Amino acid sequence: MSQQTKILLEEHEMPRRWYNIVPDLPEPPPPPLHPGTHQPAVAEDFAALFPKALIAQEMSQERYIDIPDQILEVYRLWRPSPLFRAHRLEKLLDTPAKIYYKYEGVSPAGSHKPNTAVPQVFYNAQEGIRKLTTETGAGQWGSSLAFACAQFGLECEIWQVAASYRAKPYRRTMMEVWGGKVHPSPSQVTAYGRELLAQDPQHPGSLGIAISEAVMEAVEDPQTRYALGSVLNHVLLHQTIIGEEALLQLAKVGDTPDVLVGCTGGGSNFGGLAFPFLREKLKGNMDPVIRCVEPTACPTLTKGQYRYDFGDTAGLTPLMKMHTLGHAFIPEPIHAGGLRYHGMAPLVSHIYALGLVEAIAIPQTECFAGALQFARAEGIVPAPEPTHAIAAAVREALACKESGEEKTILTALCGHGHLDLGSYEKYLAGEMVDLDLADEQIEAAMQSVPEISST
Amino acid sequence: MSQQTKILLEEHEMPRRWYNIVPDLPEPPPPPLHPGTHQPAVAEDFAALFPKALIAQEMSQERYIDIPDQILEVYRLWRPSPLFRAHRLEKLLDTPAKIYYKYEGVSPAGSHKPNTAVPQVFYNAQEGIRKLTTETGAGQWGSSLAFACAQFGLECEIWQVAASYRAKPYRRTMMEVWGGKVHPSPSQVTAYGRELLAQDPQHPGSLGIAISEAVMEAVEDPQTRYALGSVLNHVLLHQTIIGEEALLQLAKVGDTPDVLVGCTGGGSNFGGLAFPFLREKLKGNMDPVIRCVEPTACPTLTKGQYRYDFGDTAGLTPLMKMHTLGHAFIPEPIHAGGLRYHGMAPLVSHIYALGLVEAIAIPQTECFAGALQFARAEGIVPAPEPTHAIAAAVREALACKESGEEKTILTALCGHGHLDLGSYEKYLAGEMVDLDLADEQIEAAMQSVPEISST
C-alpha cells in the first residue's frame, strides 16, 4: 500500500502532437458519402458546418498533427491529467491484477470533452468565426464547449434536450457561468422547433432534434459554425492526447497493459485512450487486448450492423460507414446519457471490423454496482458513462483472482459524476432496472438504414 | 502566457507532518473552559466526544506532529494538491500582480474538508470506535466524513439541516454513495428532534440543532464518537498540510507572497493555508500581509467581539474564547453555507487579537461577480465560500493595476461549486441580494454571550 498512487507528468512533458491512426491501419477506412449523390464526400460538403482546419484534420493522412501553442496553454489548466494506480480497489477485490485508470474528470467541465472543445473553438476563432452552435444531452459536451468559447471569446449557443434541460438545471447553470446561451430543444428559435412545439408544447426533445436545430442555426449565418463532441475523425484525433499521456505515464513505472477497456458511446473517449496503444500494438511493442464496453440498452457494436447510415436522426448529415442500430433508433432512457447514440465513430467501427479490438455490452445495474465499489475504495464518484469501463475492469480483475494471473489492466475514467448523482440516487433506492433490447426492436430500427448500392 | 500554470509536487514530496502554531505564538491562546465550572477544561471533559489521540492534538504544545503512514496513503488519492498560477485571470484583470491559488477541489468530496476527515476517522478507528456522528449544512463536511469512514470501514451517521436536505439532494446522495446514513435534522432519531418535529413537522432545522442531535447520539454509545469539521485546534492542525505544500510549491518557482487572503467560516481553511506562512513571517523569512475574508452577512471578526462563548447554539460545548456574534446568532441565508457560523476558530481569533492577521468583510454579489470572472478565465467554478477569497484577490490585483505594484498574491480555492450551482443560478438571474447586518441585530445576538467572571 505504500506504492505510488498517482503517476503525474509535468507540463513540459505534455505531448505536443495528436496521433492520427488512419495511415497506420492495414486498410483505409471507407470514406463518408454525400447524402444526395452517394459519392465520396469532399471538403466543400462540410464547409458550412466546420472551419477549414478541422475539415483538413477530418481527412488527414498525416500520422501526427502538431498542437498549436495557444491550445497547449489552455490544456495546461488541467493537463497532463493524472494516471492512478487503483491500489485500494485492487485490495477490495483481492485481485493479483494491477489496475490503472486515466482520470479526465480534472478538467473544468469534468470530463474528456474539453480536449476537443478547446481545439475546435481555437480553429474556428482562427478563421474569424464568432459563434458556435451545438446540441447537448446529459450536458457534458455543451458545458465543455461553453468553457472553451469563454477561453477564446466566442459566443456559444447550445440546444439542450428539453427533458434534460428541465431535469438537470445544474448543467444548464454551468454552461451559463461560462457565458453559454442555452435553449431547451425543441426551441422557439428555429422554424423546426416552433413546428414541434406547436404539436406538443411539452415536447421532451431528443438528441436528433437538438442536432437539427443547432445545425440549422449554424448554416444560416456565415460567421457561425457547428461543433460536434464525438464520432468524427477530428474529434477522436484531439482525444488521443489521453492515450499519449498514458503511454508516457506507464513507461515511468515500467508497465504495459495486458488489457485495455474503455466505454464507447460516440467513441471519442475510447479512441482517445486506445489508438496510441493500438499503434504500439501494431508496431509490435506491446500486445494488449483492447476492448470496447457499451451498454446493453444501446449495443451498437455487439448487436448493430456495419453499414452506411446517417449521423443524425433527421438524416441531414453525410452518410458514414459505421456500426449502427439505425438512425431512427431511440435508445431506452438509461442513465449514461453520453452512451445513448445509435451509431459508433467510423474509425472505431472500422478497427472493430478489422478485428483489432473486441466489444462487450454490460447492463447498467452491474455498472453502478462496480461504481459504488470504486467510489468507496478510490474516492472518486464516476460519471455514469465510465461506470461501464469500471465494471469491465472489475470483471477482468475478478477473472485474474480466479486464474491467479497478475495482469495489468488499463481503463479510462472519463469523467466525474457530480452532476449525475440522480442516477446514483435511483440505484441506491433500488429503482434502477436493466433494459435489454429485444431482437425485434433492433430489427425494426435497422429498417431506417438506407440501402447504398455502391457498397 | 507560455509560463507554467500548475506547480505540482510528487507524492514523495508531500509533507509528512502537520504544523501546530501554538508554541510559536508570542502569547499562548486562552484555554477552553468547562461550561459548568468555568475552569480550564481538561482532557476528560472531551472524552465522550473525541478519541484520546485527537484530544492530545487539541491540547498539544508540540510544534510538529507526524502524519501516520495510513493517513498519508489516503491523502495520496488527491494530495499533494496543485498550486495554480492564474495567468489567464491576471490577463483578464490587466494587472501587474501575480496571482497564485492553492486548489483543494481535487479531493473526492471536492473541498479541503477530507484533510481532517481522514485523520479524524483514522484515530477513532485506532481506538476501536465503530461509528462517527456529525452534522452538515451545505454538505461539504458530511460528504468528507462519509468518504473517510468508507476508507477505514467505520459507520457514518450524518444529521443534515432539513432545509438543505430537501434543497440539495445531490449532496445527500454523495454521502450515501460513500455508505453514509443521512437524516434530515430535526429527525425522528433523537428525543430532541422528535420534540421539535412535534412542534413543527416541516421544521427547516439549523446547524445548531443538527450538532445537538449528532452529539446526543454519540454520547449514548461507548463505541460511537462525534466529529467536527472546523473551529477546533486539531482540525486546523490537520489543514496545515495545505500551507506546507504551498510553501514548497512557491519555493519551486522562487516566489514568496506579499499578500495572502483566505475565506473564513469556522477558520480551518484559512488556518490551514495561513499558519505555515505565519510561522515563516514570525521567523523573519518573509513578510506577507495575511488577511481573513468573511461575508458581510456573518462578520464574526470584523463586527463580533472576542469573548468566551459556546460553540453550539444549544450551549452544550465547552466555552471557547473566540470572536463571536453570540451563539444565538442565526446568520441570514447567504449562499456560502460554510461561512455561516456565529463564531471563529479560537486560534484564528487569537492571532487576530494579537494583530498578526487582518480581516475584511465582502458582500456576496461582489464575490459572485469575481467568481464569474475567475470561472471564465481559469475554468474552475468555485464553491460559494472561496468566492470571498477570490473577490479579495481581485480587489488586491486591481489595486496593483492602479499602483503599478507587481505584488505576489496567494489565495486558497478551497473547493469547487459543482453541487452549489443553484447559487450561481440565482446570481445570473439577478436574484441575489447583499445582506448587511444592522448594528441592532448584532447587539441583540450578543446578548446570548455568557458573562464569564474569570476573564
Phi/psi for A7 (5° steps) reads -100, 115
**Measured distance CA(B367)–CA(B339) in Å, rounded:** 13
- The answer to whether the Cβ–Cβ distance between A376 and B419 falls below 8 Å is no
- Chain A contact probe: residue of B421, B423, B428, B432 with most A CBs at under 10 A: B421
- Chain A contact probe: residue of B76, B154, B378, B387 with most A CBs at under 10 A: B76
**Measured distance CA(B301)–CA(B299) in Å, rounded:** 6
- B25 close to B350: Cβ distance less than 8 angstroms: yes
CB atoms within 10 A of CB A287: 10
Q: What digits encode the pLDDT tens for the residues B358-417?
A: 999 999 999 999 999 999 999 999 999 999 999 999 999 999 999 999 999 999 999 999
- The answer to whether the Cβ–Cβ distance between A418 and B372 falls below 8 Å is no
**Measured distance CA(A303)–CA(A344) in Å, rounded:** 12
- B94 close to B188: Cβ distance less than 8 angstroms: no
**Measured distance CA(A366)–CA(A392) in Å, rounded:** 9
- The answer to whether the Cβ–Cβ distance between B170 and A379 falls below 8 Å is no
- The answer to whether the Cβ–Cβ distance between A2 and B169 falls below 8 Å is no
- Residue A343's closest CA among A331, A358, A333, A356? A331
- The answer to whether the Cβ–Cβ distance between A173 and B428 falls below 8 Å is yes
Phi/psi for B215 (5° steps) reads -65, -45
- The answer to whether the Cβ–Cβ distance between A379 and B77 falls below 8 Å is yes
Under the banding of pLDDT at 50, 70 and 90, the label for residue A159 is very high
Phi/psi for A236 (5° steps) reads -65, -40
Phi-psi region of A359 (alpha: psi -120 to 50; beta: other; left: phi over 0): beta
Q: What digits encode the pLDDT tens for the residues B43-60?
A: 999 999 999 999 999 999
Min distance B453 CA to chain A CA atoms (Å):
48
CA–CA distances in Å: residue B348 to residues B27, B67, B115, B362: 13, 23, 18, 18
In percent, how much of chain B has pLDDT > 70?
98
Q: Write the single-letter amino acid at B150.
A: A
Q: Write the single-letter amino acid at B273.
A: L
Write out chain A residues lying below 8 Å of B153, CB-based. Answer: none
Write out chain A residues lying below 8 Å of B419, CB-based. Answer: 170, 418
- Chain A contact probe: residue of B418, B419, B431 with most A CBs at under 10 A: B418
**Measured distance CA(A175)–CA(A180) in Å, rounded:** 5
- A161 close to A137: Cβ distance less than 8 angstroms: yes
Go through chain B and tell me how many residues it has.
455
In percent, how much of chain B has pLDDT > 90?
83
From the list A10, A108, A170, the residue facing B8 with the nearest CB is: A10
Q: What digits encode the pLDDT tens for the residues B246-293?
A: 999 999 999 999 999 999 989 999 999 999 999 999 999 999 999 999
Three-state secondary structure along chain A? CCCCCEECCCHHHCCCEEECCHHHCCCCCCCCECCCCCCECCHHHHCCCCCHHHHHHHCCCCCEEECCHHHHHHHCCCCCCCEEECHHHHHHHCCCCEEEEEECCCCCCCECCHHHHHHHHHHHHHCCCCEEEEEECCCHHHHHHHHHHHHHCCEEEEEEEHHHHHHCHHHHHHHHHCCCEEEEECCCCCHHHHHHHHHCCCCCCCHHHHHHHHHHHHHCCCCEEECCCCCCHHHHHHHHHHHHHHHHHHHHCCCCCCEEEEECCCCHHHHHHHHHHHHHHHCCCCCCEEEEEEECCCCHHHHCEEEEEECCCCCCCCEEEEEECCCCCCCCCCCCHHHCCCECCHHHHHHHHCCCCEEEEECHHHHHHHHHHHHHHHCCCECCCCHHHHHHHHHHHHHHHHHCCCCEEEEEECEECCCCHHHHHHHHCCCCCCCCCCHHHHHHHHCCCCCCCCC
Write out chain B residues lying below 8 Å of A113, CB-based. Answer: none
Residues 6+ apart with CB under 8 A from B82: B6, B7, B8, B102, B103, B106
- A291 close to A259: Cβ distance less than 8 angstroms: yes
pLDDT given at position A445: 87
3-state secondary structure of B128: coil
End-to-end CA distance of chain B: 55
Q: Which three cell numbers stand for residue A193?
A: 422547433
Q: Is B179 an 8 Å CB contact of chain A?
A: yes
Q: Please, which residues 144-173 of chain B have a Cβ atom closer than 8 Å to chain A?
A: 147, 150-151, 169-170, 173
pLDDT given at position A133: 98
Phi/psi for A412 (5° steps) reads -110, 120
Residue of chain A whose alpha carbon sits nearest to that of B72? A2
Q: How much of chain B is helix, strand and coil, in % rounded to 5?
A: 45, 20, 40
**Measured distance CA(B290)–CA(B358) in Å, rounded:** 6
Min distance B17 CA to chain A CA atoms (Å):
17
Per-residue pLDDT for B455 more than 70? no
- The answer to whether the Cβ–Cβ distance between B73 and A5 falls below 8 Å is yes
- The answer to whether the Cβ–Cβ distance between B381 and A179 falls below 8 Å is no
- The answer to whether the Cβ–Cβ distance between B10 and A5 falls below 8 Å is no
Q: Is A252 an 8 Å CB contact of chain B?
A: no
Per-residue pLDDT for B182 more than 80? yes
- Chain B contact probe: residue of A113, A373, A381 with most B CBs at under 10 A: A381
Q: In angstroms, what is the C-alpha Rg of chain A? A: 21
pLDDT given at position B1: 43
pLDDT given at position B267: 95
- The answer to whether the Cβ–Cβ distance between A1 and B76 falls below 8 Å is no
Q: What digits encode the pLDDT tens for the residues A190-235?
A: 999 999 999 999 988 888 789 889 999 999 999 999 999 999 999 9
pLDDT given at position A206: 82
Write out chain A residues lying below 8 Å of B418, CB-based. Answer: 110, 170, 174, 416, 418-419
CA–CA distances in Å: residue B262 to residues A94, B77, B282, B410: 43, 24, 19, 9
Q: Is B372 an 8 Å CB contact of chain A?
A: yes
- The answer to whether the Cβ–Cβ distance between B375 and A424 falls below 8 Å is no
**Measured distance CA(A452)–CA(A35) in Å, rounded:** 10
Burial letters A98-111, b for 16+ CB under 10 A, else e: bbbbbbbbbbbbbb
From the list B2, B174, B179, the residue facing A381 with the nearest CB is: B174
Q: Is B73 an 8 Å CB contact of chain A?
A: yes
End-to-end CA distance of chain A: 55
pLDDT given at position B168: 85
CA–CA distances in Å: residue B384 to residues B137, B205, B317: 13, 21, 28
3-state secondary structure of B98: strand
- Residue A170's closest CA among B344, B32, B156, B425? B425
- The answer to whether the Cβ–Cβ distance between B380 and A418 falls below 8 Å is no
- The answer to whether the Cβ–Cβ distance between B375 and A178 falls below 8 Å is yes
- The answer to whether the Cβ–Cβ distance between A108 and B73 falls below 8 Å is no
Q: Is B419 an 8 Å CB contact of chain A?
A: yes
List the beta strands (DSSP E) in B271-348: 289-295, 305-310, 319-324
Residues 6+ apart with CB under 8 A from A357: A274, A278, A290, A291, A292, A348, A351
- The answer to whether the Cβ–Cβ distance between A179 and B376 falls below 8 Å is yes
- A180 close to A146: Cβ distance less than 8 angstroms: yes
Write out chain B residues lying below 8 Å of A73, CB-based. Answer: 1-2, 5
Write out chain A residues lying below 8 Å of B10, CB-based. Answer: 8
More confident residue, A330 or B15: B15
pLDDT given at position B453: 65
**Measured distance CA(A83)–CA(A13) in Å, rounded:** 14
- Residue B113's closest CA among B395, B325, B419? B419
3-state secondary structure of B423: helix
The whole-chain average pLDDT of chain A stands at 94
In percent, how much of chain A has pLDDT > 70?
98
**A·B CB contacts under 8 A:** 125
Find the helix packing angle between B364-378 and A169-177, rounded to 10°: 80
Domains of chain B as residue ranges with CATH: 6-14+66-110+234-433 (3.40.50.1100)
Residue of chain A whose alpha carbon sits nearest to that of B153? A376
Pairing of strands A358-362, A289-295: parallel
pLDDT given at position A1: 43
Q: What digits encode the pLDDT tens for the residues A394-404?
A: 999 999 999 99
- The answer to whether the Cβ–Cβ distance between B170 and A422 falls below 8 Å is yes
Which residue has 455568557 as its cell numbers?
Answer: B450
Write out chain B residues lying below 8 Å of A77, CB-based. Answer: 5, 88, 378-379
More confident residue, A339 or A47: A47
Average pLDDT over residues B241-245: 98
- The answer to whether the Cβ–Cβ distance between A170 and B418 falls below 8 Å is yes
Q: Is B4 an 8 Å CB contact of chain A?
A: yes
- Beta bridge partners, A308, equal A321
Average pLDDT over residues B116-137: 97
Average pLDDT over residues B189-207: 91
Per-residue pLDDT for B334 more than 80? no
B80 prior amide bond cis, ω within 30? yes
- Residue A120's closest CA among A149, A142, A143? A149
Q: What digits encode the pLDDT tens for the residues B150-176?
A: 999 999 999 999 988 988 889 999 999
**Measured distance CA(B261)–CA(B407) in Å, rounded:** 13
Q: In angstroms, what is the C-alpha Rg of chain B? A: 21
